[in-house]
Each structure stands twice: as structure tokens, then as C-alpha cells.
Amino acid sequence: MIKYYNNIRLGAKKLEPQKSKRMSGARILVETLIEQGVTDVFGIPGGQVVDIYDELNRARRRIRHILTSHEQGAAHAADGYARVSGKVGVALATSGPGATNLVTGIAAAMLDSVPMVVITGNVSTQLIGRDSFQEINITGITFSITKHNYFVTDVNELADTVREAFRIASSGRPGPVLIDIPKDVQTAKTLFAPKAPEPPDALPHADEKDVLRAAEIINRASRPYLYIGGGAAANGMGKQIMEFAEKTDAFIGCSLMGISTVPSSYERFLGMQGMHGRYASTKANTEADVIIGVGVCFSDRATGDAKKYARRAEIVQIDADLAEINKNVIVDAGLVGDVKKTFSMLLDAVEQKRRPQWHKRALELKSEGRRIFNSIDENALSEITPKQVFEMINGKKEADTVVATDVGQHQMWAAQYLKFEKPRRFISSGGLGAMGYGLGAAIGAVIAEKKRAVLVTGDGSFSMNLTELATAVSYKIPVVIVLMNNSVLGMVRQWQTLFYGGRYPATDPKRKTDFVKVCEAFGGKGERVSSAEEFEAAFERAMKFDGPYLIDVPVDKDELVLPMIPSDGDLEDLITTDERKNKQ
């Protein structure tokens, strides 16, 4: 275990029956956070949360505040913390720009179903609506990107509001909840008595008749395919998924959010499917005659043109959220309820069946996929190919190392090549695709796990929130930053290459940033490599460093992420080769 800052024993003590005590709203907030089991809060102070910070300081032996460099970094850190720990992440900011700086992080958590409680301060209630300094209607702004939000006007309601926020954030389909607390509510006093935390609301399992109908569809199928997503990952369903695959002779693909749900080494796991997915999983999805979606939303990046998706297959979808059923694709059986319980019912209901032709075909697809990826690697333009980079990371990282990514080409290469044997080891902004997500999320992961993490990023993404290097250095956060540097906005440029006639407006910023010097200026360590051997040695050094260590890896600006499905295409329109090379 890595000791990366002051040795404070954290965690709420076992609550004993206590008499009510008169406290300020700020202290009530802090005591209720501790009551809910919160040990870490990410944020930045400001004028309308000074009282809260004063109480956090008083309670510093029971709850820790991590000072980030930007409120967006705080939100992403709380997100990363929640994803790897399974706990509710907490972010804190002041009013006005402090609150609005959280918005991207809140939206990222909402679209990826991450449980977070976000706390903002606001001006006193008598100043609301008067355009007071740093007044902002943050509940209105975040209405569409939170599960629920609160504007607290009565200190007597504050404790129960916080309790309800934690329950809502973690119940059903998880997501962020925001609590906006005016300054006069923070300073007002009332009686407070701690309560034991309430468990998340229990979801019912799906109706038994619906489960049996779904089982009938699966039983008569010849080519079953399991498509698993973030709902399966969050519920720790890897063992169940593998049991189902063994019983039905099915094979498994996943969305970006489903990566690390089952071990990469599992024979039946084909990898991520979709626009930049693995060849085997994408092709198996097109050839399947039944697709069982587990905690997955069938987004456009995974399905291509939804009207053309699964033309030869029936679809069974299991989700906690009724709104997801038939939202993106029309399904033949929709099972709504607790995903884990419902899937367990389906596992019991399906017949044990061997499907030798499907088994043979799936293994053929895996073999074809390996040949395609080997060919892509052999024809790579970069001195250090993406495949080489990630194979070395696979060989050097520990089995329980968390890998965070930013958004872009590097993210897709990571999804294609990284291997995980334990759950909750891969974190990335899927639904929102927020560039700048990675460093904050990696910091949150390290705080949660107390172990080293790896960040895979690109020069475009990293530039957006690199100020969080100050946070990583200040708290001695051991994070290895692998920066895939092509000096362009790679993913957009790839689209311009393939679909816009090779016109590149605004994707070649011609920046002169020296990221190694930037990291060192913040107090970290960095080095630039130019060969696979140099990267391997640098990564070994980085994995031993007590703090952030950046490795700048050159990538050719014309390197493409393949395979790829055009945005208006379907899974059968898979591009597997760079046609520019074929014309040379």
C-alpha cells in the first residue's frame, strides 16, 4: 500500500444513539457526510462555502478534503473515485463560476451512471434573484444532467436532504445528485442527531413471465451473443456473465463501459464492439441470432445505424431503467428491474445447450481479428506502435492497477488492447466523451484504492486539465501518465482524413508545448521516449516513482484507429485497412 500523504485514520465510527445537538448548517452537512460513510471530498473553497470548509477543517481527522486545481477536476476525481470503489463520490464548490465549472463533470457522471453527490454553496436566500455577486441558478443549469437536485432553504431540512441525496444517487440506475446550500442556511442553527445510513432503494426483479419469454427466445437460438455494459460492470456481474456463457455456449462482447467486467483472458470474451471495437466482437454481433443486452444502452457508437442493427437477430434487453428499453433499438423482450437479480433469474431459466457450430465460428472470428490487428500493427506509421505501447503496459502493470483514459484515439487504442483480469479497473468518459476527464479521474482512483494508477491520454485531452498535475504533486499521487503525442487533435483529424477529403481545419494547432517540462515545472517527473525499448524502461521507472510521472510517446499524426465503422454505416461496414497505403 502506498502512503501518499499524511497518516490520518479516516472513517465514521460506529454510530451510537446520541441526543440531539444544536449545530450550524455547515457542521450538520459535514456530520451527515461522515454519517453516510464519506471519507474523502474533492473540491475548491470560495466565498459561499467558507463555513463548510471551516467545519471540514474541524473534522479533519474523520473526513479528508482533497484540494484540486479546478472544480472540473474535482468532479472528475469524485467520478473516478466512485467508479473504482463503488461508493458515492463527493465534490464541493462555491457559487457562480465554482458551480458552473462542475457542470462537465456532472454531465459525464450522469451519462455514465456514476453515483455522485455534488454540493455547492450559494448566496444567502434574501439575495437570490438579485444578480448578487457570484449568484447562479445551478439547480436550473443542472436539471437535465442530474438524477435529482435540491435548493435548500431551511436548515431543519438539510440533514435529511443530504441523506436522501445519497440514497437517490446510489439507487436503481446510479447518477449524480446536486445540493445547493445558501450561505444563511449554512450559518443557521438547529438540532441535529445522527442516523444510520439507509441502504439504496431495492429494485424489484423483472416479471417472471417476461423472463420466461426471454429464456424461450434464447433457448431456440443457434448463435447467442451477450452484450454487456456499465450496468453489468457496476453490479460486479462478471461471474454470472461467464456462468451464463458456459451454460448457453454464448460469446461475450461489451461496450466501452463494460470493459473489465469479465477477465480479458476468458476464452468467450471477444472484447469491445462497435465503431472502434474489436473485429471478433463486432462481427459476432452481426452474425448472432439473439443478442442479450445486460445493463447496456445500445448507443450509436456500439450499434452503428440503429435501423440496420441486428437485422437477423432477436434482442433481449435487461436494464434497471425502463426508459432504456426500446430507446435506441426495438427489442423482442425487455426486462426491467434489478439487473443482477433479473439476470440471475434468466440464468436459471435458460437451457444448458451446446452450439458447436457457433463455438467454432466465434473462435474463427477471434483468429481473424488477431490477423487483422497484427496487420494494422505491422503497417503502423509510428516508430512505437500503439499496440506495442499497450502490450508493454499489460506486461508491466499489476493485475489490480486501474487505468483511466481521456477521450480520443488513445482511448480507443486502450479499449482495444488493454487487458484486465479484475473488475472496475478501466475508467473512461463514455457517454459524454469529455476530453480532460482522465487526470482528475486517475487522482480519484488513487485516493479510493491507495494504489498506483495509469492514465492514458493524448496531447489534446491532456492540455485541457493538466493543471491537476499540481494536485497530483501536492498529494504525492502515484499516477503514470502515458501521453500519446501526435501534436494534432487525432480523432477529429482521422474523420477529416477518411470522410472530409483530407482537409484539416483547426485539428493541427501547431502547439509547441513541451509536456515533459510542464510536468517537471509542476514538480513531477517526465521523460520523452523514441523507441519501444525506451518506453519499456521508462514505464518501469514510472511504476516506482512516488508521484506523477509523465512519459511522452510520439505517435504519427496520420496513424488511424482501426477497425472503424462510419457514423452512417452499420456493423457490416467495418473498415479494417488504411486505403491510403493500398494506393501507394
Of 476, 475, 473, 456, whose CA–CA distance to 522 is shortest?
Answer: 473
- Domain residues of the chain, as ranges? 21-192, 208-365, 383-558
The domains spanning 21-192 and 383-558 adopt the same CATH topology? yes
Cell of 317: 434487453
Query: Which of the four CATH numbers 3.30.365.10, 3.40.630.30, 2.40.50.220, 3.40.50.1220 does domain 208-365 have?
Result: 3.40.50.1220
How many CB atoms lie under 10 A from the CB of residue 93?
30
Hey, is 197 helix, strand or coil?
coil
pLDDT for residue 13? 42
Amino acid at residue number 121: G
How many CB atoms lie under 10 A from the CB of residue 426?
24
**Is 90 exceeded by the pLDDT of residue 9?**
no
Residue linked to cell 441535529? 192
How many residues are listed for the chain in this entry? Answer: 584
CA distance 190 to 115: 29
pLDDT for residue 584? 44
pLDDT for residue 11? 40
Mean pLDDT calculated for residue range 99-124: 98
Of 464, 445, 469, whose CA–CA distance to 80 is shortest?
Answer: 445
CA distance 138 to 565: 38
173-229 pLDDT tens trace: 999 999 999 999 999 999 999 999 999 999 988 999 999 999 999 999 999 999 999
Q: How far is CA 466 from CA 82, 319, 436, 460, 519, in A?
A: 21, 36, 8, 10, 9
Backbone torsions φ then ψ of 11, nearest 5 degrees: 120, 140
Strands 269-272, 189-192: pairing kind: unpaired
CA distance 272 to 284: 11
Spatial contact of 128 and 101, defined as CB atoms under 8 Å apart: no
423-476 pLDDT tens trace: 999 999 999 999 999 999 999 999 999 999 999 999 999 999 999 999 999 999
241-285 pLDDT tens trace: 999 999 999 999 999 999 999 999 999 999 999 999 999 999 999
pLDDT for residue 279? 95
Angle at 154 between CA 153 and CA 158, to 5 degrees: 100
Spatial contact of 152 and 91, defined as CB atoms under 8 Å apart: no
Query: Which of the four CATH numbers 1.10.8.50, 3.40.50.11900, 3.30.360.10, 3.40.50.970 does domain 383-558 have?
Result: 3.40.50.970
501-550 pLDDT tens trace: 999 999 999 999 999 999 999 999 999 999 999 999 999 999 999 999 99
402-428 pLDDT tens trace: 999 999 999 999 999 999 999 999 999
Q: What is the DSSP string of 38-91?
A: --EEEE---GGGHHHHHHHHHTTTTSEEEE-SSHHHHHHHHHHHHHHH-SPEEE
- Residues carrying an active site annotation: 71, 133-134, 183, 491
Strands 116-122, 148-151: pairing kind: unpaired
Mean pLDDT calculated for residue range 79-90: 98
Superfamily of domain 21-192 in CATH is Thiamin diphosphate (ThDP)-binding fold, Pyr/PP domains (3.40.50.970)
**Which residue(s) pair with 293 in the sheet?**
227, 317
Model confidence, pTM: 0.94
Average pLDDT over the chain reads: 94
Residue linked to cell 450499434? 303
Instruction: Please give the distance of CA 283 from its chain centroid, rounded to a whole number.
Output: 25
**Is 60 exceeded by the pLDDT of residue 92?**
yes
**Is 60 exceeded by the pLDDT of residue 8?**
no
